[in-house]
Amino acid sequence: MSTTTADRAVSLGTAERRLGDPAFQAFTLLRIGFTVAPILFGIDKFLDWLVDWRIYLAPEINDLVPGNAHQALLAIGVIEIVAGLVVALRPRFGGYLVAAWLAGIIVNLLLQADFYDIALRDFGLLLAALTLARLATAFDRRPSRV
Residue 146 lies in a domain: no
Evaluate the CA torsion angle 142, 134, 121, 53 in order and state its sign: negative
- Whether the CB-CB separation of 122 and 102 falls below 8 Å is answered with yes
Residue 144 lies in a domain: no
The parent domain of residue 40 ranges over: 5-139
Evaluate the CA torsion angle 81, 86, 91, 96 in order and state its sign: negative
pLDDT tens digits for 94-129?
999 999 999 999 999 999 989 999 999 999 999 999
The Cα-based distances of 51 to 60, 101, 122 in angstroms read: 21, 19, 17
Residue 125 lies in a domain: yes
pLDDT tens digits for 50-85?
999 999 999 998 888 888 999 999 999 999 999 999
Tally the domains of the chain: 1
Residue 108 lies in a domain: yes
Residue 53 lies in a domain: yes
What is this structure's pTM?
A: 0.81
